[in-house]
Structure 1
Amino acid sequence: MSKYKRKNKKPGHREGEVRAKKHLGQHFLTDENVAEKIAKTLSFSGYNNVLEIGPGMGVLTKFLLKQDAEVHVIEIDTESVTYLQENYAELQERIHQQDFLKYNLQEVFKEEAFAVIGNFPYNISTQIVFKVLEMKEQIPEFSGMFQKEVAQRICEKQGSKTYGILSVLVQAFYYAEYFFTVPPSVFNPPPKVDSGVLRLTRKEDFSIACDEKLFFRIVKTAFQQRRKTLRNSLKTFNLPDNIREDTIFGRRPEQLGFQEFINLTLKIQPYAI
């Protein structure tokens, strides 16, 4: 008897399947057509390695394995890991039972480039993006599925009410493209909202002409009080009055593109502690 058979099965749960766990934010994609479309968002160009986050039962994995790349998967759920080990023999040495947010990926990839893809748990999707930004030197491409409003926010342009911290920080280093919307009906269990698939392609020159840590700090501080002008939201930087009189400080954060935030950081940099 398969170890996945369970007594007192919940409605909709079939024997031989991994049960989605609410505390892990799991919503398993069940539509293979959607999975194949997500796999095809990667170009598989300029890198040999692909890392899938949270593969579950491998509906996306099977399409990644058809590509000319070395596929690794990282999965925190023990039951899913066992399922993958039993059903994807070709992955055996490349299944990493780890927490993506805490794991040192250089243990796997050393200094090699790798793409990141996945059907990301809503509850940690923003943290995943921040970790990708930390490792941008090694990650030329990133794609996958988010809650729709988060995916749209990442790709949003300045001037929108949904434009925010993620929009600025991501777009400083990557080109962001929103591809398509996915309905709740293709998941088990279905989430309560639509999902959206995006791709981030790292810019050829992804360095910025200012202190990066200060840039991140300024963007985050500015959007914490997004309705205020920068003159008010950035008060904690204790800038001299003659600097604060610059016209850029009379604008609100959603009015600035990433390049203007870089210029703002350059103005503040000489006075930052």
Structure 2
Amino acid sequence: MTNVRAKKNLGQHFLKDQNIAHKIVDSLQADGIHHVLEIGPGMGVLTGFLLQNTNYQTTVVEIDRESVDYLNKHLPALEDRIISKDFLKLNLNEFFQEPFAIIGNFPYNISSQIFFKVLEYRHQVPEVVGMIQKEVAERIATGPGSKTYGILSVLLQAYYDIDYLFTVHENVFIPPPKVKSAVIRLRRNETQKLDCDEKLFFQLVKAGFNQRRKTLRNSLKAFIRDETLKQDLIFSKRPEQLSVNDFERITRLIQDQS
């Protein structure tokens, strides 16, 4: 496991425990899905198990040139399915015309950005299994009323059912991270489109949580008429007290006033 040097600027922590790698890949249910995209394979500890599953056509995206060279040498079965680019800058429609699942030991420094990109492609990505910082995993999976509940919680839960699967300790990585990790699974729910203007919904969720210590009466006043703010008690709450349905209702209120 010392063939590729972990690079701090890329947030690399290579998983060395084969049992955990197998458990992560087994967590991907991917019913009826043929295409799987792995983000940040590094030295291919997950990739090897993915390639053993003949139901999957596995593609990997890896920005680190040293890792790409290692994969080409040690996993020839990948053939031409290594995308040597930055995942966050990819137009995924250029690579996938059919639905595809996403899996990976996600780089800690971009894990939230990865999930925002998943949201962009939510109609093509029915399932995600990712290992991320435990703190971020808890934030994504938690419900209203928690201090960790935030923007990603609401936006992802609007379209995905989320399972916090298991915690992973620091000593199974090279180099060990300073925090614990966790594996979560996102599976697309039945909501194809929210019952409101989705673009406005995203704006309101972000505006509310960007001033999370304020009530919505203060953080959303740029969007809503004063009389509506005064009349509806929902605006006396803080954003972490609101469910996805509550944010949908607020979005419809604003749509109706225009």
State the TM-score, normalized to the length of structure 2. Answer: 0.97
| 1:160-206 residue CA offsets vs partner (Å, 9 max, x unmatched) | 01111110000000001100000110000000000010000001233
Aligned with residue 172 of structure 2, among 171, 176, 186: 186
Paired letter, 1:254: E
Paired letter, 1:82: D
Report what 1:228 is aligned to: 214
Aligned with residue 204 of structure 2, among 186, 195, 218: 218
Q: Larger Cα Rg: Structure 1 or Structure 2?
A: 1
| 2:158–2:191 CA contact under 8 A, matched in 1 | no
C-alpha distance in 2, partners of 1:270/1:222?
19
Aligned with residue 62 of structure 2, among 70, 75, 82: 75
Report what 1:174 is aligned to: 160
Question: 5+ residue gaps in structure 2?
Answer: none
Paired letter, 1:154: I
Please give the secondary structure, in 2, of the residue aligned with 1:167.
helix
Taking the TM superposition and a 5 Å limit, the aligned residue runs for 1:135-214 are 135-214=121-200
Bigger mean CA offset, 186-195 vs 262-271? 262-271
C-alpha distance in 2, partners of 1:233/1:186?
43
Taking the TM superposition and a 5 Å limit, the aligned residue runs for 1:1-273 are 14=2, 17-67=3-53, 68-110=55-97, 112-237=98-223, 239-245=224-230, 246-271=232-257
Paired letter, 2:143: K
Paired letter, 1:170: L
| 1:130-161 residue CA offsets vs partner (Å, 9 max, x unmatched) | 00000001000001101000001000010001
Paired letter, 1:73: V
| 1:203-259 residue CA offsets vs partner (Å, 9 max, x unmatched) | 12331011111101000000111121100111222x222211211111111110111
Quote how far apart the aligned CAs of 1:46 are: 2.6
Report what 1:8 is aligned to: none
Paired letter, 2:243: G
Please give the secondary structure, in 1, of the residue aligned with 2:58.
strand
| 1:119–1:144 CA contact under 8 A, matched in 2 | yes
Paired letter, 1:55: P
C-alpha distance in 2, partners of 1:127/1:102?
11
Task: Please provide the CA RMSD for this pair.
Answer: 1.1
C-alpha distance in 1, partners of 2:188/2:70?
33
Paired letter, 2:110: I
C-alpha distance in 2, partners of 1:257/1:82?
46
Paired letter, 2:74: N
- Report runs of 4+ in structure 1 exceeding 6 Å deviation: none
C-alpha distance in 2, partners of 1:19/1:271?
57
C-alpha distance in 1, partners of 2:41/2:163?
23
Quote how far apart the aligned CAs of 1:271 are: 4.4
Question: 5+ residue gaps in structure 1?
Answer: 1-12
Quote how far apart the aligned CAs of 1:107 are: 1.2
| 1:93-146 residue CA offsets vs partner (Å, 9 max, x unmatched) | 111101000011111112x10000100011100000000000001000001101
